[in-house]
Amino acid sequence: MTPGREKIQPKEEKTKAFTYDDMSIELLDALGGKTNVLCVDHCITRLRVEVKNISIIDKQALSNMNFSHIVETSGHEIQIIIGTEVQFIAEILNEILM
């Protein structure tokens, strides 16, 4: 082999396994927990959440989760742009809330 042309083996990186369950639980905690969330719905990319008290939502935790945009649409509703995987997160949140 010519030096510099050998196959380079990628370094193994230890990464945390991503699951929708973990993300949903973290999201629910940031939204104030099960007692604060009244209703969860979604469209193609947005998670729509109705809450009892919008002031206890941990907005820093939501932004640390790397969501592209968070919008307070009213005094009791927040919309979080998650992406096309939003349906999986909404389903898990609704299961938790039941």
Contacts by 31-37 with C-beta closer than 8 Å and gap 24+?
31/57, 31/58, 31/62, 31/78, 32/56, 32/57, 32/58, 34/96, 34/97, 37/93, 37/97
Catalytic pick from 43, 56, 61, 71? 43
Active site residue 43: yes
Residues involved in catalysis? 43
